[in-house]
Structure 1
């Protein structure tokens, strides 16, 4: 099945007040493992993430042609700027474009700006645009402009380039090869946390204590996490 909503929450358990575990983006494939009264138990196709989603009118299939390359792309009811809707899709969402006109692309019952799109198989340099998320609020389980957690923040950029990569930090740490030195695009892991090095001195991460995605000094961050959470760096990848 296909998620045809901007964001669909994946919960840890099949209860209304269950903790948010992750989210699916528009165009994301998943398989229903089991049906319940109000929920589906599902497995996502990209990273095999298992959880529970509320029952909705999901699509049966989709052959996406394009993906969203910006943090947030507004939808339109017509191919006109003044017809902008409140609804928007997040970075890495996938759509099937039916046709184009006047700088807009038609998909489903909506229009979207051409400048926000890139062809589905096209890739960009990994992490080259990661700072588009700067100042997005921290949200456990979040995967987009409304809120994101540290592991989703890293995973999204692998996913954008059609590279398989785990959802959670513990699995990411096992997945990657060890690196001895801190350099550009190195990933620093703590227990339950990850940050990306922008260079030898600066990193960027979705940081719970600061409640947002932000850039920080690497040495200061390592000291702060040790002092506040008593956590040491477990590895550089």
Structure 2
């Protein structure tokens, strides 16, 4: 297989030009079987692994990651190439660490949460340093600095872009975005719930983080991410974050159910991306419990 990622240092001196991921000659202290890893967040296969895992996972080849940025259309992350299931998404401007390129597919992990999977080669490009982030539900890229101009693209909340401010617009390489829809990439939202509430009504999409739709843990991750709190991708990973609640529920608390997470908007109601409603909805906690049963965990994550 062809690989664009740099081969591990001190690799064989005459690598096969069709495969730059060559055997690593360094002596790693792997004295027993490979360590059990969560392969959602550890890039390790039987044939290839991230070189940072060389002391924990045995593979015939190791690779150093090369970073690329997601393009305007965003990108689905799949469980495998060709026939894989969508397991997550990259938002425009987010970065992906590439460990292997094989035909139309790249294998690696998203840099913001370490989630491992496959993306299509044509969805990524050169890495650029973002200056702004979309804080509105969505932002339009106009071909000219006018809200009457042709729309070149629509960016979901959380998208990262770079450009220079010109009057009331950010001038990017792809067009113009109204400053009212943007915030500084270094800024944070004061309330993750307010971020989630802006996405009320967004379609439910398994593996979604805002490209066409969103799922329950994607909603929580994006909402807290804009508030400056980096959470893992899946609900069973998020359940370990923060602290257990032994008091009355309040706005911003997370309630977990089997394979599901909700975000409290008030002591008696929550917002969540629901496969039952196929939409992001705000509904009474009583109705959620009647349908899903009592929560298995209640967590509070401070923004």
Structure 2-normalised TM-score?
Answer: 0.73
Match of 1:154 in 2: 220
Larger Rg: 2
Describe the superposition over 1:125-166 as per-residue Cα deviations: whole angstroms up to 9, x where unpaired: 132332111111100011116210000000002221332210
- 1:86 is displaced (CA, Å) by 5.4
Which residue number in structure 2 is paired with residue 117 of structure 1?
A: 182
Q: Provide the C-alpha distance between the structure 1 equivalents of 2:160 and 2:197, rounded to a whole number of angstroms.
A: 21
Note closer, same or farther for the CA distance 1:220–1:109 as it changes in structure 2 (3 Å cut).
closer
When the two structures are aligned, how many residues end up with a matched partner?
230
Tell me: higher relative CO, structure 1 or 2? Use CA pairs within 8 A at least 6 residues apart. 1
Q: Check the 8 A contact 1:74/1:84 in 2, yes or no.
A: no
1:210 CA drift (Å): 0.7
Hey, what's the Cα distance between the residues in 2 that align with 1:84 and 1:223? 47
1:38-77 to structure 2, matched below 5 A, reads 38-56=104-122, 58-77=124-143
Q: What is the DSSP-based 3-state SS (H/G/I as helix, E as strand, rest coil) of the residue aligned with 1:14?
A: coil
- The Cα of 1:235 is off from its aligned counterpart by 0.4
User: Any residues of structure 2 matched to 1:11-160 within 5 Å, and which?
Assistant: 11-15=78-82, 17-56=83-122, 58-85=124-151, 87-101=153-167, 103-127=168-192, 128-144=194-210, 146-160=212-226
> Are the aligned partners of 2:208 and 2:215 in contact in 1 as well (CA < 8 Å)?
yes
Query: What is the alpha-carbon distance in structure 2 between the residues aligned to residue 184 and residue 109 of structure 1?
Result: 38
- CA-to-aligned-CA distance 1:31-83 (integer Å, 9 cap, x gap): 10112122100211110010100111633221111100111111100101221
User: Is contact 2:91–2:211 with CA below 8 Å preserved after alignment?
Assistant: no
Q: Does 1:167 align with 2:233?
A: yes
Does the CA contact (< 8 Å) of 1:133 and 1:145 recur in 2? no
**Which residue does 1:229 correspond to in 2?**
none
How big is the alpha-carbon RMSD for the aligned residues of Structure 1 and Structure 2? 1.5
Contact 2:152–2:174 under 8 Å retained in 1: no
Structure 2 gaps, min length 5:
1-67
In 2, the alpha carbon distance for the partners of 1:10 and 1:57 equals: 10
Q: Which has more helix, going by share of residues?
A: 1
Deviating above 6 A after TM superposition, structure 1's stretches of 4 or more consecutive aligned residues are none
CA distance in 2, matches of 1:162, 1:201: 26
TM-score by length of structure 1 reads 0.92
1:204 and 1:163 map into 2 onto residues whose CA distance is 18
